[in-house]
Structure 1
């Protein structure tokens, strides 16, 4: 996921969110729900559903793939009517492979994972079918999912994706450095953040309170700060990231370098390297980093990103969703896909164990999920999570932001000039 988002120039979570740890007791409940799903798929007449295979594509080619594999295996063993065949495509090539499969029909999946911000573009292509009828027949209800992704992927009144997770930007912090500095709780406001990073910085030892990334994951950080400051990336008709609200946050980030809180020339992943070395006290990144930090044996905590802007709390996020290609017409395959999604809605603790915060409300409200410290902390931001603007080809339109932003953060270009140039390039891209 992390590589995919980097390639897309966004996020943009996602995730994942990538997205990563402990496994829930889902085997027994999975078997019960799977059988109930088959009864529903059989219809009101009670006729036994016909057997079907469901080809399921995901981009989970990292460590997270094993967690999804467990869910599929448990579902398949919970009933004998449907068999989900999991295919993991290379992460960085996922959408290219998917485009080929959808256009040629060769080895086309019956069910696929898609990032939420991709769904409007694929709907516009005519590549996806609404999930409403399938969901209704399977007992999969919109109300059982966090509203943000459901609202985003409901287009012209039709529901095109069923959420699996949400992977927002989060704050990681080094507990040992916090304790040494006498900081007892993670910062939640700009005042608390500014005070904390100043205390945490020890230049003599090469320790920084917050190391400012100049490249990835700014695709998550920059939108978060713009929204928090009352700005936006898209104003409804045009790109808007050269607004006073956006430029102010670019200046704020650069000021952390000027104050000595952060080194000035941070290369790709430099902030993460220093975090792993215990020389960066705070890092903003996604849930997908959990596995790496656990493996390194870091004593770290996770908390929502503090509100650094002046207007409101907000955070940029991504979301993995189940979608169904338009050309899937076999009634038994559709019933089987619905049965699988019904199962996942209450049997996805294995996915939470990968580090992801689940989008299913029954799972979020379960004691098993609440016992996961990191994931439950990530879920605290779901009420104010936002996704990329719901604009066709947004990744291509917004691509100029990242190079211009990097120049500003490195002190090579005035922030206002950098954002003006990014807007000009984006407007040019929209004309092509």
Structure 2
């Protein structure tokens, strides 16, 4: 998941602000019911009832109940699962579900503390700064392969290529739950006022290029020191700071990163193509003046934390979680394809959120029953409304998701999603080891470039050295 996702979910922001932080998850102890001497007839009746009601194989003996702890972010788009628990428990009388929560900023630290204290939750996801490969390399994840049985991704309408993201050496370590992608949201009112045609949703439309996007952005930009007058044509939030060069055909990390457990053997921040990519990215702000500065974005973002909602941004390349705020916009909004850039293979970032069973779980079979319930077609459809618009990985349920947003044509959202899958690359924070530390380094070192105090070519050599030193330390 990317660092700004919770902040950009405008429908949830006000509720988030009112919530008090909750302590991190605690592994519920297995509850043993007091022994009772049951008559043979009563035992037989209970067994027959369980069979007829379709109880899942929870793996617990008759009369036992196990508790599965589900650890998540304390925000409405995640804690909605609490509303699903009664239905699940009615269908699985041998399993209880307990939800524990933490604020986004504390998600990883509280999870690590719980694991260190031998108080690990059973089920969670990469909802903090770190991601799959970091969790995997720390030995936090359970290999689910022995417990999958007859589980098939196709039975849950999960695309094979998405399922394979969470496989290592033929073993499965996660089941995909939600599938966010990069989208281009645009302000139809600003396009209409500038007399511009709306951008296409078809990724195969070769007329929709990065240069055309910048051209349209210039037509909508009013670069003024007067906040009331200022507006900008483009906010290019493609991926994390170290992933953005990928769009321009440059790679910050060596290719072996993706086959070496998320551990790059080489860093390329001193390569001309990477430097040029960063010059293009930050040149949108300080050279071409079509993108807002961080100071401007902060001043207009308001309580929702997304400057696009201000109505002063013409286009925003962002994760599809921002679609959940579409009903809060005070202008007409459209969705389009991310334009063709210098890299013909990568135009979108995929943010696939899986569910993991942590290695210390004492009840992996029961935990997997909960996960299978959450990715089932019926529950994935139900979760769209309950969550405020989380995109299901289940492709049958996705049809309901595409039609969820008032004022935006479902066929357009579907076409954008299909193109994003075709030209997408999984978010770096999910695939690179020790990403939380890497991300913090990029944020700190690039701040002077983002604020216009320094040029990329002045900062990148120092960042190169610091990143190599960091990787040399954490990847030993």
Alignment TM class, shorter chain as reference: 0.7 to 0.9
Out of 128-137 and 221-230, give the one that drifted further.
221-230
Q: Is the 8 A contact 1:173 1:300 kept in 2?
A: yes
Residue 135 of structure 1, aligned match among 144, 148, 151: 148
Aligned-pair CA distance for 1:130: 0.8
Per-residue deviation, residues 319-341 of structure 1 (Å, max 9, x unmatched): 322111212234xxx33322222
Q: Is the 8 A contact 1:145 1:360 kept in 2?
A: yes
Per-residue deviation, residues 50-94 of structure 1 (Å, max 9, x unmatched): 6433221112x1231353333334433445343322222222212
The equivalent residue for 1:27 is none
User: In structure 1, how many angstroms separate the alpha carbons of the residues matched to 2:214 and 2:331?
Assistant: 24
Aligned-pair CA distance for 1:197: 0.7
Per-residue deviation, residues 69-126 of structure 1 (Å, max 9, x unmatched): 33334433445343322222222212222112222223x3222223496222222222
The equivalent residue for 1:363 is 397
- Asked if 1:422 corresponds to 2:463, the answer is yes
Aligned-pair CA distance for 1:278: 1.8
User: In structure 1, how many angstroms separate the alpha carbons of the residues matched to 2:470 and 2:214?
Assistant: 37
Aligned-pair CA distance for 1:263: 4.5
Q: Is the 8 A contact 2:240 2:428 kept in 1?
A: no
User: In structure 1, how many angstroms separate the alpha carbons of the residues matched to 2:111 and 2:155?
Assistant: 26
Task: From the superposition, tell whether residues 399 and 142 of structure 1 become closer, same or farther in structure 2 (CA, over 3 Å).
Answer: farther
**Structure 2, gaps ≥5 residues long:** 13-50, 201-207, 257-264, 405-409
- Asked if 1:251 corresponds to 2:279, the answer is yes
Give secondary structure in 2 for the equivalent of 1:100.
helix
User: In structure 2, how many angstroms separate the alpha carbons of the residues matched to 1:418 and 1:36?
Assistant: 67
Aligned-pair CA distance for 1:174: 0.9
User: In structure 1, how many angstroms separate the alpha carbons of the residues matched to 2:189 and 2:446?
Assistant: 32
- Asked if 1:171 corresponds to 2:184, the answer is yes
Per-residue deviation, residues 209-243 of structure 1 (Å, max 9, x unmatched): 1246xxxx57x254554222222221031222343
Aligned-pair CA distance for 1:38: 5.1
The equivalent residue for 1:151 is 164
Q: Which structure ranks higher in relative contact order (CA pairs < 8 Å, sequence separation ≥ 6)? A: 1
- Asked if 1:382 corresponds to 2:440, the answer is no
Aligned-pair CA distance for 1:201: 2.0
* TM-score, length of structure 2 as denominator length: 0.72
User: In structure 1, how many angstroms separate the alpha carbons of the residues matched to 2:282 and 2:105?
Assistant: 31
Residues matched between the structures, number:
396
* Largest Rg, 1 or 2: 2
- Asked if 1:266 corresponds to 2:286, the answer is no
User: In structure 2, how many angstroms separate the alpha carbons of the residues matched to 1:142 and 1:423?
Assistant: 46
The equivalent residue for 2:365 is 335
Q: How does 1:18-57 map to 2 (within 5 A)?
A: 41=57, 51-57=65-71
Aligned-pair CA distance for 1:293: 4.8
Aligned-pair CA distance for 1:193: 0.2
* TM-score, length of structure 1 as denominator length: 0.78
- Asked if 1:229 corresponds to 2:267, the answer is no
Q: CA RMSD in A?
A: 3.6
Aligned-pair CA distance for 1:140: 5.5
Q: Is the 8 A contact 2:70 2:99 kept in 1?
A: yes
Task: From the superposition, tell whether residues 419 and 91 of structure 1 become closer, same or farther in structure 2 (CA, over 3 Å).
Answer: same
User: In structure 2, how many angstroms separate the alpha carbons of the residues matched to 1:403 and 1:37?
Assistant: 56
Give secondary structure in 2 for the equivalent of 1:41.
coil
The equivalent residue for 2:209 is 189
The equivalent residue for 2:311 is 278
User: In structure 2, how many angstroms separate the alpha carbons of the residues matched to 1:404 and 1:111?
Assistant: 35
